[in-house]
Structures are given as C-alpha cells and as structure tokens.
C-alpha cells in the first residue's frame, strides 16, 4: 500500500506563520478594535489582559455579531471575544496545523515556541496559501515558469478553479437591508455576500470588512445593501488555473473570487483562500504524488 504525501507534511508552521501578532487589551472598545483590524489588514486580533497574557480572540465575525445585536461600539472587546485562543507550535507540520483548524472550525491559530512556549506568531489560511504559492512560483513545473518552454510537453495535471470552488453561491438583491445580509452571512458561514440588481445580475459584494466599517461609521443596519456594497465584483473563469486565481487574489489583496462560466454575469461558484489552502499541495498534482518534495531544513 502506497501512502500519498503532500507538500504540507514537509513544511513546519514556522515557514508560513506571520511574526507580527496583532494584540489589544480586552478592555479596549470595539471601535478601537475595528481601527486596529482595518489598519493592519487582518481578520482578527488577539485580546490580552493587563499582564499581556492571551485571553481571547476578536474576529470580524464577532464584530459583525455585535453590530447585528446593536451593541454600543464603545463596549469593551471582552464582551464579544471568543475564549480561549487556540495554539500550535512553531515546529508542528502545516498539515497538522491545518487539521487542527478544520477540526475546530477556526480560521487561525496562534503559534508558540517549541521550547519556551513564548508566543511567536500567528497562522491563518492566507499564510498557508501564500507559502504554497511562493513554492509553486519557484518550481520547475510551475505554469508561469513553463511559459518559457512552450515546445515542451506539459504532462502535469494542474488544478483548475472548478475542482476546488464552492458551488453554493448565495446572493441578495441590492434593496435588502444590512441586517438581512448579516443574517445570511451567519447562516451560511460566508465571509462575503454577492449583491445583485433587479435582474439578478452581480453588481457588488458586501464582506465582513465592509460591515465592520459600517458599524464604525454608525450606519443604521436597516440601510439597504447598495449603500455599503463594494464594486466591482472580482471574478475569474471556471476553467482558470488555480495558480492564476491565487495570484490574482494575492496581488489584489482579496480573499475570494466569484467564478463565472462564459459571460461574467453568470456566477456559478466562489473560490476563497481557505479553499486553496485545503488543496494542501500548491497548484498541481506533482506535490501530491511526491514528485515535488520540499524539505524543511529550519
């Protein structure tokens, strides 16, 4: 029996983690927390106590819940934080860390040093995707690298967007309220909602970031989605290569693409950085078959 291997098993958490840990005292206000999250372009912050010990995590999802519940924005973060934070070790394999994230249904882990136990970093899905993408770009089998050798036969099976995208695309019309948007995001566990016009055509997107900013600006959640949505809708074709889709998300600093088939108005799926991370092996099947082995020498 042959056991398949993938790239993540050969890489440690320390390779992918970000070493900047965004912390904030849990007594600070929700409004302060929103400012910090937006400034540092992160999806969550680590809440700490008066002696700088981690006590919880405040994510954009938690902030959206506070907005929906009508909690005053000057309420302390401890009212909405999720405790306790979840940790992994810097020497753990990315495969192990990813399984821990999936099992606990969380988007991030905080990283402690193997020996001292000191907090040294944070790991989220985008960090894993970014690392895999960097290895893909350096690999001789990379689609972008092979453009220089068009005469060579390309026998590598490359992942396409259609293989990893979620097909359960939900949308709401522009006249629906922000309350309805938040209810839908919570019910479907989405990070963003597609907004359509009267003909059902895609016209914008509302993410949890947009809702956090609306909360900060004291926009009434009874306002309609059109007032808050962002445009344009970032899309890619159903048959695009995963490598190209990930590149687009990384370069434009977005977390998801809506997938179209033929006409850009025909949305048939959505691909997020989380979906790409769950692929576990970069942009082609070379890693899965162990043909491409990445050794961790740290």
Among residues 218, 181, 225, 207, the alpha carbon closest in space to that of 60 is found at: 207
Give the pLDDT of residue 275.
82
Are β-strands 192-196 and 235-237 bridged in parallel, bridged antiparallel, or unpaired? unpaired
Give the pLDDT of residue 58.
98
pLDDT digits (tens, 9 = 90+) for 183-234: 999 999 999 999 999 999 999 999 999 999 999 999 999 999 999 999 999 9
pLDDT over threshold 70, residue 6: no
Of 102-111, 127-136, 226-235, 263-272, minimum mean pLDDT range = 127-136
Among residues 12, 189, 184, the alpha carbon closest in space to that of 93 is found at: 12
Q: What is the pLDDT averaged over residues 49-74? A: 97
Residues carrying CATH 3.10.580.10, the chain: 7-124, 161-278
Give the pLDDT of residue 291.
36
pLDDT over threshold 90, residue 284: no
Give the helix, strand, coil percentages of the chain, each rounded to 5.
35, 25, 40
pLDDT digits (tens, 9 = 90+) for 65-90: 999 999 999 999 999 999 999 999 99
Q: What is the pLDDT averaged over residues 257-268? A: 93
Angstrom distance (rounded) from CA 104 to CA 86: 9
Residue 146: band (very low, low, confident or very high) from pLDDT cuts 50, 70, 90: low
Give the pLDDT of residue 135.
78
Of 43-57, 117-131, 150-164, 280-294, minimum mean pLDDT range = 280-294
The chain-wide mean pLDDT, for the chain, equals: 87
Of 28-37, 159-168, 207-216, minimum mean pLDDT range = 159-168
Kindly state which CATH superfamily the domain 7-124 is placed in: CBS-domain (3.10.580.10)
Beta bridge partners of 224: 177
Give the pLDDT of residue 176.
98
pLDDT above 90 covers a percentage of the chain that reads: 65
pLDDT above 70 covers a percentage of the chain that reads: 85
Which has more confidence, 51 or 4? 51
Residue 139: band (very low, low, confident or very high) from pLDDT cuts 50, 70, 90: confident
Give the pLDDT of residue 297.
33
Give the pLDDT of residue 155.
65
CATH code for the structural domain at 161-278 = 3.10.580.10
Give the pLDDT of residue 10.
75
pLDDT over threshold 70, residue 8: no
Q: What is the pLDDT averaged over residues 118-143? A: 84
* Whole-Å CA distances, 240 to 114, 165, 251, 259: 40, 11, 16, 9
Give the pLDDT of residue 7.
63
């Amino acid at each position: 029996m042959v056991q398949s291997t993938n790239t993540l098993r050969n890489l440690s958490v320390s390779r992918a983690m970000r070493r900047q840990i965004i912390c904030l005292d849990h007594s600070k206000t929700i409004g302060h927390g929103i400012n910090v999250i937006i400034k540092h372009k992160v999806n969550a912050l680590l809440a700490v106590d008066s002696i700088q010990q981690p006590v919880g995590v405040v994510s954009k999802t938690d902030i959206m819940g506070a907005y929906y519940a009508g909690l005053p924005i000057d309420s302390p973060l401890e009212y909405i934080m999720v405790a306790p934070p979840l940790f992994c070790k810097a020497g753990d394999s990315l495969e192990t860390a990813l399984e821990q994230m999936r099992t606990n249904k969380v988007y991030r882990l905080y990283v402690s040093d193997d020996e001292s136990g000191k907090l040294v970093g944070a790991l989220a899905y985008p960090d894993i995707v970014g690392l895999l993408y960097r290895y893909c770009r350096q690999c001789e089998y990379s689609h972008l690298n092979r453009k220089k050798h068009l005469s060579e036969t390309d026998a590598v099976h490359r992942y396409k967007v259609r293989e990893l995208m979620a097909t359960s695309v939900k949308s709401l019309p522009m006249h629906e309220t922000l309350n309805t948007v938040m209810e839908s995001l919570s019910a479907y566990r989405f990070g963003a909602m597609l907004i359509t016009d009267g003909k059902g055509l895609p016209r914008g997107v509302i993410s949890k970031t947009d809702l956090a900013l609306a909360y900060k600006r004291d926009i009434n959640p009874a306002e309609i989605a059109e007032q808050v949505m962002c445009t344009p809708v970032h899309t890619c074709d159903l048959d695009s290569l995963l490598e190209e889709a990930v590149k687009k998300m990384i370069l434009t600093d977005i977390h998801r693409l809506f997938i179209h088939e033929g006409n850009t108005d025909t949305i048939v799926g959505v691909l997020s950085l989380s979906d790409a991370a769950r692929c576990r092996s970069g942009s082609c099947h070379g890693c899965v078959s162990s043909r491409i082995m990445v050794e961790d020498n740290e």
